[in-house]
Amino acid sequence: MTSGNEAAKPNTTDPVGFETHDHAGCITSALAAAEAHCATGGLRFTPVRRQALEILLQEHRAIGAYEMLDKLRAAGFGSQPPVAYRALEFLVANGFAHKIERLNAFIACAHPGAEHSPAFMICRKCQSVAEAQSTPSRGALGDAARAAGFQIERTMVEAEGICPSCAEKVDA
């Protein structure tokens, strides 16, 4: 609410999560993209899976598997942990969501469809999470991996710190 730039559309490579945006629109388009991707790839975008993705998109923050389970139960689905874990596993496996290892929590992908290796910025005050891009194979890690003969398949990058919103609250 500190600015009135709701007309500013972030492009798909911007970090998302610390700024206002067209929320209803991003939910709709992400769901549509997921549906299309599933149809193309022969994947089954079942009701639980759709609901789980919609929950992640609505919350727009990292939520734990049990919190997801509560919401799925409230929506009329099963009430045991595997229900949530299986839906989340599907979403993560297909790039619709990511797991934040640091928080043992899950968040909707901010750049659905695009091939990317995500990096996350996690606020240690308010726990909000923004997704950015990382360049895993470049830089020191890539050099070390090549030198050691290690074949990188996937990288997790999670930065902990203070988000702009919390920074201006405390100012110190």
Partner DNA sequence: GGTCTCCATGTGATTATATAACGTTACAGG
Partner DNA sequence: CCTGTAACGTTATATAATCACATGGAGACC
* Torsion sign over Cα 149, 154, 159, 160: negative
CA distance between the termini of the chain: 22
* Residue whose CB is less far from a copy of itself, 72 or 107: 107
Burial of 105 (0-12, 13-18, 19+ CB in 10 A): buried
* Residue whose CB is less far from a copy of itself, 44 or 154: 154
Distance in angstroms (rounded) separating the CA atoms of residues 115 and 153: 13
Residue 39 CB, nearest approach to a copy of itself (Å): 29
148: contact with a copy of itself by CB under 8 A: yes
Contact 129, 121 (CB under 8 A): yes
Residue 106 CB, nearest approach to a copy of itself (Å): 14
80: contact with DNA by CB under 7 A: yes
The residues of the shown chain that bind a copy of itself, judged by CB under 8 A, are 14-15, 18-19, 101-102, 119, 121, 123-124, 130, 132-136, 138-141, 144-145, 147-164, 167
